[in-house]
């Protein structure tokens, strides 16, 4: 290829006007903060500025991204700008996919990947500069990195420099966190954006968003429309609705429209389409999740439609329940969304809510992930670093998670044997932390290795890593041309649940030689199946390095009922913190770690065996406990009560004071153990209580 591509607009990106000032500040400081509007060139240009100044001669320049889709897309863009092949000078690394080489000097990687690298090389010695990008997203992993890098720099690592970039973050606050480091604010080159509020909340936000888009399309001068929706399903629904409506418009009323979805599970080649400029006399309508809020900048947008919602995960440590719910965005997010309309010329933002909602109901800022997620993985990770003088409960985070969340994490880790009675990491715990999986799944793999069913467990881990292997609602969301006809039934899981079914599906797919038709005929997404295979292959390699017992990790295609049984047993080890016990007389379940929580089996779970009275299995383990319309457990596997006796005893004697590293507290020890016993007894509760489900 040779030679970088030089085009005028790139030179004009605001950050490039600050090249000298940035280089001066970086040269004389180990940490600095750069605040700049989205689209000012932080992600694509800053690394190139540092590269041109010669920093990459001292080590790799790393740029962390909270989202995989952004890491890939931005690396591709920068490789193009520099005129090099992706994977050589410019590469990316995301979980289970490494496209870097020994020549890579600019490396985009997810924040999670950099955390994993810290495990192998706590000093990050191959890097000259770490750019913690998109820090305003405040993902859990970025927050951990902020704390860790602070530790590292305090110890004085002269080779390493840190640049934190953000679109909105309070620069002074983060500067204070880093010992009053310098903050550079890049003035935005934003054109004015007119904000139009609705007079009241619409009855249906979805319908109102569609109508607004059509109205803009019919009445307003050229310029692309960016419509924010909460998830893939809603986006697909919106696209087909818009298609319909636009077709109904009389010919000649308006220009042509191109409809483009943008969300994280879109295949990369389709994602790339939003960066192509629109053909003239044609309006693009981009329907996106909040990935378009700050991570990805789509040029050409003049109209933004903001319904004011986002899908957010929230973990409740007292019930162990995750809720993935649609919540109101924060004011910071609303401002970001509006800003997308003013990048190339004056724009308009249609807020589908009244200004009073914006003023009085929206939170000023988004709650950082660290305060609303289960911290079992984080706590295990920090413990596995075995940093001297690091007390996980007092770790220096930018925003502290609640005590309740931390204690919940300790309890979970103890039940799956990642930490001992005194809260110290066990050998098993260390091995778990080395696997790029959540602690429970990592523990299950290690157990499977010991019990001789690693092949099956690897397959299940791979299959659980995909969002969904099934084409959801094929008839509703696809156009007729793409409609998938399901010709054959899937294996049933022998009544033993989803994990066994996933294993059977994968093994049959292997036997078909990974055939596309095989997937299509069964309503499965080949892309997801391929992803499961890649993850499985990667995990098999990691396990091979660890355990030298590859003989089990080659895909077995002929698992027997006995294998399924061993697999379920090994899953019990990992998911000992996620067991559920059926009610005596009906099919509701009680969660073992949080006795007060009653749940039901989610309708998506494959049919489980029932006894003569129509009752489901007495004990199950689950992958997910999620509150949608009601509390459900999803991805469920049948287990035998005899396999979990020791867990029941363990639950009875757990002592959170000792786990927190504070030694035993006799008084409260009694309280907690009494309480647990009471909880266990309620597991065999009477029918009147069960009525409350
Ligand atoms: O990081 P920040 O939001 O400050 O800006 P950026 O992502 O570096 O984007 C700078 C410019 O590059 C914008 O005009 C983007 O539209 C463009 N870009 C692109 O065309 N293709 C990409 N894959 C990424 C960015
Ligand atoms: Mg950026």
Task: Pull the structure tokens for residue 561.
Answer: 């009922």
Ranges under pLDDT 70 in the chain: 1-9, 169, 389, 472-484, 547-553, 663-693
DSSP 465-527: HSS-SB--SHHHHS-GGGPPP--SPPP-GGGSBHHHHHHHHHHHHHHTTS-HHHHHTTTB-HH
Residue 14 vs residues 10, 41, 75, 76, 177: alpha-carbon distances, Å? 9, 7, 20, 21, 27
DSSP 180: S
Residue 506 near residue 461, CB atoms below 8 Å: no
Point out which residues pair with 348 in neighbouring strands.
Answer: 194, 303
Per DSSP bridges, beta strands 90-94 and 97-99 are antiparallel
C-alpha 83 to ligand 1 mean position (Å): 16
Residues across the chain: 693
Residue 545, number of CB atoms within 10 A of its CB: 10
Separation between Cα atoms, residue 200 and residue 356, nearest integer Å: 9
40 CA from centroid of ligand 2 (Å):
8
Task: Looking at the CA of residue 272, tell me the nearest atom of ligand 1.
Answer: 23
Cβ neighbours of residue 525 closer than 8 Å, sequence gap 6 or more: 468, 469, 470, 471, 519
Atom of ligand 1 nearest to the CA of 295: 3
What is the spatial distance between Cα 273 and Cα 258, in angstroms, rounded to a whole number?
11
Does the CB atom of residue 648 touch ligand 1 within 6 A?
no
Pocket test for ligand 1, best of 12, 41, 272, 295 (most atoms within 8 A of CB): 41
Q: Are 398 and 147 in contact (CB under 8 A)?
A: yes
pLDDT one-digit tens code per residue, 178-212: 999 999 999 877 789 999 999 999 999 999 999 99
- Considering only CA atoms, which residue is closest to atom 17 of ligand 1? 297
373: which DSSP letter?
Answer: S
Of the residues 46, 77, 80, 133, which should be mutated to test ligand 1's pocket, given the most ligand atoms within 8 Å of the CB?
A: 77
Q: What is the ipTM of this complex?
A: 0.98
- For residue 330, the 8-state DSSP code is P
Torsions phi, psi for 105 (to 5 deg): -115, -20
Task: Print the SS3 string covering 402-449.
Answer: CHHHHHHHHHHHHHCCCECCCCCECHHHHHHHHCCCCHHHHHHHHHHH
Count of H-run helices and E-run strands, the chain: 26, 21
Could you give the CA distance from residue 285 to residue 53 in angstroms, rounded to a whole number?
40
Q: Which of 16, 39, 45, 169 to mutate to test the pocket of ligand 1 (most atoms within 8 A of CB)?
A: 39
Which tokens hold the place of 57?
A: 């001669």
C-alpha to C-alpha distance for 691 and 693, rounded to whole angstroms? 5
Separation in Å, CA 79 to CA 91, 126, 404, 491, 637: 8, 21, 45, 44, 45
Whether residue 128 contacts residue 59, with contact meaning beta carbons closer than 8 Å, is answered with yes
Nearest CA to ligand 1 atom 15: 297
Q: Which residue lies with its CA nearest to atom 24 of ligand 1?
A: 74
Verify whether ligand 1 is closer than 6 Å to residue 300 (CB atom): no
What pLDDT does 295 receive? 72
Strand order in the sheet with 224-228: 193-197, 347-351, 301-306, 224-228, 282-288, 256-262
Q: Dump the DSSP string for 101-136.
A: -TT--EEEEEHHHHHHHHHH-TT-TTEEEEEE--GG
Which protein residue has the closest C-alpha to ligand 1 atom 14? Answer: 39
Separation CA 391–CA 399 (nearest Å): 16
């Amino acid at each position: 290829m040779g030679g970088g591509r030089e085009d005028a607009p790139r030179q004009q990106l605001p950050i490039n006007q600050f090249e000298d000032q940035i280089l001066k500040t970086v040269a004389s400081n180990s940490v600095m903060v750069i605040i700049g509007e989205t689209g000012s060139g932080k992600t694509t240009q800053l690394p190139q500025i540092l590269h041109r100044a010669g920093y990459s001669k001292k080590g790799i320049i790393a740029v962390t991204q909270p989202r995989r889709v952004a890491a890939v897309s931005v690396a591709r863009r920068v490789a193009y700008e520099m005129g090099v092949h992706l994977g050589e000078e410019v590469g990316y690394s995301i979980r289970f996919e490494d496209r870097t080489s020994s020549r890579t000097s600019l490396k985009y990687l997810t924040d999670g990947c950099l955390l994993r690298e810290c495990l192998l090389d706590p000093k990050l010695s191959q890097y000259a500069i770490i750019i913690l990008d998109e820090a305003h997203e405040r993902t859990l992993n970025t927050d951990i990195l902020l704390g860790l890098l602070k530790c590292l720099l305090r110890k004085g690592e002269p080779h390493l420099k840190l640049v934190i970039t953000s679109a909105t973050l309070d620069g002074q606050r983060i500067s204070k966190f880093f010992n009053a480091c310098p903050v550079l604010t890049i003035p935005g080159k934003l054109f004015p954006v007119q904000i139009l509020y609705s007079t009241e909340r619409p009855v249906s936000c979805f319908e109102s968003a569609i109508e607004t888009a059509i109205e803009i399309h019919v009445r307003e001068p050229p310029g692309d429309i960016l419509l924010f929706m909460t998830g893939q399903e809603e986006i697909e629904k919106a696209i087909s609705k818009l298609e319909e409506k636009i077709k109904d418009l009389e010919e000649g009323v308006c220009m042509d429209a191109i409809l483009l979805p943008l969300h994280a599970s879109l295949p990369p080649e389709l994602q790339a389409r939003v960066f192509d400029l629109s053909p003239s006399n044609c309006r693009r309508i981009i329907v996106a999740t909040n990935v378009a809020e700050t991570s990805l900048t789509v040029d050409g947008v003049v109209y933004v439609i903001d319904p004011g919602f986002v899908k957010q995960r929230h973990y409740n440590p007292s019930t162990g329940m995750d809720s993935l719910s649609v919540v109101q965005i924060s004011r910071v997010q609303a401002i970001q969304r509006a800003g997308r309309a003013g990048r190339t010329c004056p724009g308009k933002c249609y807020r589908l809510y009244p200004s009073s909602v914006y003023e009085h109901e929206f939170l000023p800022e988004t709650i950082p992930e660290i305060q609303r997620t289960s911290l079992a993985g984080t706590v295990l990770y920090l413990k596995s670093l075995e940093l001297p003088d690091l007390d996980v409960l007092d770790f220096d985070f930018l925003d502290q998670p609640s005590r309740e969340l931390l204690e919940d994490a300790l309890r979970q880790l103890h039940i799956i044997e990642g930490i001992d009675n005194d809260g110290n990491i066990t050998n098993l715990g260390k091995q778990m932390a080395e696997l790029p999986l959540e602690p429970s799944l990592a523990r299950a793999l290690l157990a499977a290795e010991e019990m001789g069913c690693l092949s099956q467990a690897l397959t299940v881990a791979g299959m659980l890593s995909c969002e969904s292997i099934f084409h959801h609602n094929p008839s509703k969301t696809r156009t007729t041309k793409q409609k998938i006809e399901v010709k054959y039934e899937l294996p049933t899981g022998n009544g033993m649940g989803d994990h066994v079914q996933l294993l059977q599906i994968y093994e049959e797919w292997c036997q078909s030689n990974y055939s596309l038709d095989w997937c299509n005929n069964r309503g499965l997404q080949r892309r997801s199946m391929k992803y499961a295979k890649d993850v499985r292959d990667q995990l098999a390699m990691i396990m091979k390095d660890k355990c030298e017992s590859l003989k089990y990790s080659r895909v077995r295609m002929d698992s027997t009922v006995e294998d399924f049984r061993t697999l379920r047993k090994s899953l019990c080890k990992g998911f000992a913190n996620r067991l559920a016990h059926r009610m005596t007389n009906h099919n509701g379940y009680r969660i073992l770690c949080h006795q007060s929580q009653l749940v039901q089996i989610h309708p998506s779970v494959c049919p489980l065996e029932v006894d003569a009275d129509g009752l489901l299995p007495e004990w199950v383990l689950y992958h997910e406990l999620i509150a949608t319309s009601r509390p459900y457990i999803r991805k469920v596997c049948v287990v035998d009560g005899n396999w979990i006796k020791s867990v029941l005893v363990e639950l009875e004697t757990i002592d959170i004071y000792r786990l927190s590293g504070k030694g035993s507290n006799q008084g409260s020890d009694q309280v907690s153990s009494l309480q647990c016993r009471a909880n266990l007894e309620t597991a065999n509760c009477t029918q009147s209580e069960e009525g409350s489900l």
